[in-house]
């Protein structure tokens, strides 16, 4: 959690907060998706997190990707903006959020995988037809929608 969100949480406790985040779906040359096993809910998710005040969204996505995975995004393509009931979540610690998730796709990256030990338990590339069942609830539908569109050729 960034310093801004920590300050907000000190004021509102666990109450509902609207949170705008930037995320990245990474695909390797074998069309496998990079997922991270989150420390907070023990579910798999793509890299991403809250945008800092005055931060450019694409830069936030690149920052989150690097912080959580050690990878540097050389090129990002906007996939979509997701919000609404499917993006509502209550974390195990009781923090409630209504996420607005701005999701990018990255196929062009460099670096070596390295877990952000404070937030990530494991990093793994999964074949698109063998994704883990325990996807993090706020991103599960986004991931399934992406995979369906990608497998049907709607996304290059």
Contacts of 17 (CB under 8 A, 6+ apart): 5, 8, 9, 95, 96, 97, 98
Q: Of 79, 68, 82, which Cα lies nearest the Cα of 123?
A: 68
Q: Which candidate in 3, 55, 122, 154 is catalytic? A: 122
Give all strands (DSSP E) within 27-146, no chain letters: 32-38, 44-45, 47-50, 71-82, 88-90, 96-111, 120-127
Q: Mark whether 77 is an active-site residue.
A: no
Catalytic residues: 122
């Amino acid at each position: 959690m960034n310093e801004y969100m920590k300050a907000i949480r000190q004021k509102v406790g666990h109450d509902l907060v609207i949170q705008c985040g930037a995320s990245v779906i990474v695909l390797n040359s074998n069309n496998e998706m990079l997922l991270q096993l989150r420390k907070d809910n023990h579910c798999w998710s793509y890299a991403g997190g809250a945008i800092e005040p005055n931060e450019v969204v694409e830069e936030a996505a690149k920052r989150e990707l690097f912080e959580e995975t050690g990878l540097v995004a050389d090129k990002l393509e906007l996939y979509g903006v997701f919000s609404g009931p499917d993006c509502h979540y209550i974390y195990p610690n009781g923090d409630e959020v209504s996420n607005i998730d701005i999701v990018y796709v990255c196929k062009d990256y460099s670096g070596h995988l390295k877990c952000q030990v404070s937030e990530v338990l494991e990093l793994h590339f999964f074949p698109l037809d063998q994704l883990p069942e325990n996807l993090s609830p706020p991103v599960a539908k986004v991931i399934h929608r992406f995979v369906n569109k990608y497998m049907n050729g709607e996304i290059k």
